[in-house]
Amino acid sequence: MTTTTEPQRTILTPQGAAYARLSGIGAYRPARVVTNHELVDAIESSDEWIQGRSGIVTRRRAAPDESVVDMAEAASRQALEHAGLRADQIGAVIVATVTHPFQTPAAAALLAYRLGATPAAAFDISVACAGFCHGVSLAHDMVRGGSAEHVLVVGVEKLSDFTDLDDRGSAFIFGDGAGAVVVSPSDVPAIGPTVWGSDGEQWDTIRQRDSWLDMRPDRPADAPEVLWPAIVMKGQAVFRWAVWKMAPVAQEALDRAGVKAEDLSAFIPHQANMRIIDSMIKALKLPAHVPVARDVADMGNTSAASVPLAMERMLREGAAPHGGLALLIGFGAGLSYAAQVVTLP
């Protein structure tokens, strides 16, 4: 009698949770407050112009020796405490940032180590101001797909390291900070479908400066040939794109979640410009009773950190209730965007 060994034709696949939810939130705001008055001389501007065009009154700046990982750690510790989890229960750490000053290694690996979350999977994502909402989407799919039980998602930026204080179009906009959430299993749906996408045709509208292409014609002959790669943008082009294209994305996130604008407990859009926020409110026909995040006035544009920072503030100040429905949307360099409805942690 001969025996044949049949090859195994199937493999085991992970079983995830039925649903996912935001189980904890934390934030870190650097101590130093930078006023418009401090910036205006270098860019021939005024407090009145900056407030009128952007709604920004102040922004925070990290200390010179304070890193992206330091800020991420502070926000993450709060988020873990709020979620009631130990760091060793985290299966993956996602850091959304464009200002960690190393191509490699990732900020996430050092963050996981410092928190005691090793050997969690740890990686950074580069989607600028849409980074946090991308991270929430990935974490949601990981929890449901079974690749991690609890996922830490951090949006963190030290934009002051990449801001040219002589550039009129960006010097007054950017700020520093960190926000973090934990995404955990849930018995009920608590994170809606993510509407996301990109438009690389407009790749050039917000980007790190090229040392040769962006050299100013008036630079001194003995200036160094390589400019610091600050992040600059074509403000008007980005503004138009945000105003015309982002409200339909936010509306689609509502529709796909089966949620009406009047049922929202909070609208938390990317904090880039108060005029963009106001135009989105109009386009969405958002009822007046829905509270809207306006953290940009105090924090400026903190890119990947802006949505979780604004969320944490609304919850802490009682402007939005824990457990209420919130519409989130991030948009920026790429150009890229992501929106989803979530139940607030």
Residue with the two structure tokens 């290694």: 105
Instruction: Assess 302 for contact with ligand UT7 (CB under 6 A).
Output: no
- Candidates 2-10, 47-55, 118-126, 177-185; binding stretch for ligand UT7 (CB under 6 A): 47-55
With respect to ligand UT7, which residue has the nearer C-beta, 107 or 128? 128
With respect to ligand UT7, which residue has the nearer C-beta, 68 or 232? 232
In 179-295, which ranges are continuous DSSP H helix?
A: 235-257, 274-283
Residue from 82, 100, 150, 270 carrying the catalytic annotation: 270
- Stretch 119-158: interaction string toward ligand UT7, x if CB under 6 A: ----------x-----------------------------
Helix, strand, coil share of the chain (percent; to 5): 35, 25, 40
State yes or no: is 129 an active-site residue. yes
With respect to ligand UT7, which residue has the nearer C-beta, 92 or 230? 230
In whole angstroms, the minimum distance from the beta carbon of 165 to ligand UT7 comes to 11
C-alpha radius of gyration, the chain, whole number? 21
Show the tokens assigned to 254.
């509502």
- Candidates 1-9, 23-31, 41-49, 117-125; binding stretch for ligand UT7 (CB under 6 A): 41-49
Instruction: Assess 300 for contact with ligand UT7 (CB under 6 A).
Output: no
With respect to ligand UT7, which residue has the nearer C-beta, 242 or 253? 242
Cβ burial, residue 310 (10 Å; 0-12/13-18/19+): buried
In whole angstroms, the minimum distance from the beta carbon of 294 to ligand UT7 comes to 14
With respect to ligand UT7, which residue has the nearer C-beta, 87 or 96? 96
How wide is the angle at C-alpha 289 spanned by C-alphas 284 and 295, nearest 5°?
75
Q: Torsion angle, CA of 328/332/334/338, rounded to 10 degrees?
A: 10
With respect to ligand UT7, which residue has the nearer C-beta, 192 or 332? 332
Return the closest-CA partner of residue 178 out of 152, 196, 198: 152
State yes or no: is 270 an active-site residue. yes
Instruction: Assess 43 for contact with ligand UT7 (CB under 6 A).
Output: yes
Residue from 129, 134, 140, 150 carrying the catalytic annotation: 129
Residues of this chain, 162-181, that bind ligand UT7 according to CB under 6 A: 168-169, 172
Instruction: Assess 54 for contact with ligand UT7 (CB under 6 A).
Output: yes
Element (H, E) at 33: strand 32-35
With respect to ligand UT7, which residue has the nearer C-beta, 91 or 235? 235
Integer Cα distance of 177 and 156 in angstroms: 6
Show the tokens assigned to 97.
């940032």
Q: How far is CA 307 from the centre of its chain?
A: 6
In whole angstroms, the minimum distance from the beta carbon of 87 to ligand UT7 comes to 31
- The residue count for binding ligand UT7 (CB under 6 A) is 21
Angle between helices 274-283 and 235-257 (to 10 degrees): 40
Taking CB under 6 A as the criterion, the residue among 19, 49, 113, 123 binding ligand UT7 is 49
Residues of this chain, 233-292, that bind ligand UT7 according to CB under 6 A: 235-236, 238-239, 242, 272-273, 276
Integer Cα distance of 207 and 233 in angstroms: 6
284: preceding bond cis by omega (within 30 degrees): no
Instruction: Assess 211 for contact with ligand UT7 (CB under 6 A).
Output: no
Cβ burial, residue 181 (10 Å; 0-12/13-18/19+): buried
Contact indicator for 128, 231 with CB cutoff of 8 Å: no
Whole-Å CA distances, 170 to 61, 231, 245: 15, 8, 22
State yes or no: is 36 an active-site residue. no
Give catalytic residue positions: 129, 270, 301
Binding site for ligand UT7 (CB under 6 A): 43, 45, 49, 53-54, 129, 168-169, 172, 206, 235-236, 238-239, 242, 272-273, 276, 301, 303, 332
